[in-house]
Chain A
Amino acid sequence: MTDPSPVFTADNLRKSFSTPRGPVKAVDGISLELAPSDFVALHGPSGCGKSTLLLIAGALLSPDEGTIRIDDADPYALDANGRAAFRAANVGFVFQQFHLIPFLDVLDNVLAPQLSGREDRGALRTRALELLEKFNLSHRLNHVPSALSVGEQQRVALARALLKSPRLLLADEPTGNLDEENARVIMDHLSEFAKNRGAVLMVTHDPAARASAKRSLHLEAGRITA
């Protein structure tokens, strides 16, 4: 039985940037749909618009044209604060550089999304501890990021992204800085998230990571070519 409503849809997205040599089309007419449990890998040469598409999908960068819908809502119809709240509730991010806050310990880093609203703090803390247990980081709760291995740091970043149980997970080169073993662990967790009716849109150059995805899309000059 299929879910009739997609988690994410993009319709004819276009985005250009001004450069000294004139405007550059980063995204040029991309349409895309992610159903629940979908896991899509985006790949292509550098500068083809993968990361720009990811930022538009994450309600961080408004497109020049076209619309997106996440859980049937258009985040760009909201004001900046509304969009921030929308992101906090519906979208999780994982980055190649992890972007952990250097002065917070592991538990606080995972709980950082608490700063975005007044959710049930006790429930979020329980959820954070469950995620850290699941990602085998329970023994690292009070360590700061600099004391962790890169694999552990990426797992902390993933736990933070999953804290509020988003429907859409956006990952930008999540295994780019990891060794094979740690990359496999991360990909397993992303796959598990997708299996539990989430949707994953991942930018990657890594063929092994691409293999973990259900679908793989090739981007070139801002367009999906395959």
Chain B
Amino acid sequence: MNLRRLVVREILHRKLNFALSVLGVFLAVLCVIATLGILRAHDAQTDRIIGEMEVQTRDEMAKLEDEIRKSMKGLGFNIYIFPEDQEMSEVYAQGYASKSMPEEYVNKLASSDIVTVNHLLPSLTRKIKWPEKARTVILIGVRGEVPLAHRDPKAPLIDPVEEDKLVLGYELHRSLDLAPGDTVEFMGESFTVEKCHDERGSKDDITIWMNLGQCQELLQMEGRINAIQALECNCATVDRLGEIRKELLQILPDTRIIETGSTALARAEARNTAQATAERQIAGKKQERARLRRERERFAGLLLPIVSVFSMAWIGMLTLTNVRERIPEIGILRAIGVKSRTVLTAFLGRAFVAGLTGAALGLALAFFAGPLFEENFFQGHSISSLLDARDWWLPLLLAPLFACLAAWLPSFHAAQQDPAVVLRHD
């Protein structure tokens, strides 16, 4: 005979009282697990929604970036570097600079450690008569992109035109009936048409692009260019132009720097606005989810203490009932020399077993029946994925302790029973 046997035999004898105690713990643990699962499911769902929104925004922003990158080349979210003595009114009037500067300038920039621009495109532009065709064209000698020495290589924005080849604007190839592969005479030299552009509705339609070196030779301007396009601004502040000027003029002091292309600028601003809107939407969604989370937390914060208190009161009441039923038993045990501590342990042991059994059953039900409630309660998440190991063993540890706490007062009352009083009133 030992205490464990006494507790087990008593539990088997008074099954209903024990079962009701177990039920109290079982429901409380189930409630805790369900609440925890619902909150975790909410968090997981929030992460998923925000993650999806962020990916979507990132993708859309990448598309916008790409579009703007391309449009900057065509429409010019551009920084133009001109010779210092270039009259800008002349540039605005005729579309290009009449003054020239050494081609070496672009190499100087490319080999420096500039950070405010990403692409450098040197060019030599002149409006001339195409002698063989008797028509005015804009001739642009291009070298392609000059890579920045200190940057990782990037895809060039514009390909260089090979020697002895021409790229023609729409109006030119249409009116002269030229197509890629055709041979054409230009300023006494023979060229092959490499590419014919579609209609752009700008001066590009009457432009001929050719290799920069050949262009310099034809115009007798060897080693000279009249503009450098610097594309894609990395500026951190609103004063982009000021930032770029400050950096570039330190390297090329005898130049002037102009920003052109308000359309692209507007698109870039639109991109920024779109991004800001998307970020606001994400922030708004986060706030909404956080508000919902707080509401659920408040509910859980109210529900769990109530459930815990009710469960503990329930166990306390059942233990008191058990104590009352067992007064004669306690009396005789005390009379035959059983210490009050042993009586206390017997009742607390019973509460401990009830707590452990209730918690184990609650957790088992949550684990095995959880899949049935995934859709309605856990937003499609499995309960096992929402709860970690600690969430499972903590109730198993705490429920018996809380049950003992709940049973403490009636158990103490039992332990304090005076056997003389019990037996005298028998």
A interface residue numbers (CB < 8 A to B): 51-52, 55, 58, 60-61, 80-81, 84-89, 93, 95, 97, 99, 101-104, 108, 111-117, 160-161, 172
Contacts and interface: CB of A to CB of B under 8 A. Distances in A.
A81 B329 contact: no
A119 to B, nearest CB: 11
Q: Which 9 pairs, one residue from A and one from B, show the smallest C-beta to C-beta distance?
A: A88-B337, A103-B13, A116-B337, A111-B1, A61-B420, A99-B332, A60-B420, A87-B337, A114-B1
Interface string B330-349: 01111111111110000000
Contact of B341 (A52, A81, A88, A113): A81
A93 B9 contact: no
B423 interface: yes
A210 to B, nearest CB: 22
A160 B336 contact: yes
B426 interface: yes
Given A87-B336, A101-B329, A160-B336, A115 B3 contact: yes
7 contacts: A61-B424, A95-B332, A99-B328, A102-B13, A104-B6, A112-B1, A115-B2
Given A55-B420, A55-B423, A88 B6 contact: no
Contacts of B1: 104, 108, 111-112, 114-115
A80 B334 CA distance: 10
Given A55-B423, A104-B6, 9 more contacts: A55-B424, A84-B338, A87-B335, A93-B335, A95-B423, A99-B328, A103-B14, A112-B1, A113-B338
B424 to A, nearest CB: 6
B5 interface: yes
A115 B423 contact: no
Interface string B158-175: 000000000000000000
Contacts of B84: none
Secondary structure at chain B's binding surface: helix, strand, loop or mixed? Answer: helix
Nearest to B340: A80
B12 interface: yes
Given A103-B13, A108-B1, A111-B1, A84 B420 contact: no
Contacts of B14: 103
A160 B12 CA distance: 23
A114 B2 contact: yes
Contacts of B12: 103
B331 to A, nearest CB: 7
B8 to A, nearest CB: 10
B247 interface: no
Given A99-B331, A115-B342, A85 B426 contact: no
A40 to B, nearest CB: 20
Contact of A60 (B6, B9, B335, B342): B335
A114 B1 CA distance: 6
A161 B329 CA distance: 15
B419 interface: yes
A95 B340 CA distance: 21
Nearest to B343: A115
Nearest to A113: B336
A108 B4 CA distance: 12
Contacts of A117: 337
A55 B3 CA distance: 26
Nearest to A170: B335
B337 A113 contact: yes
Interface in B1-30: 1-3, 5-6, 9-10, 12-14
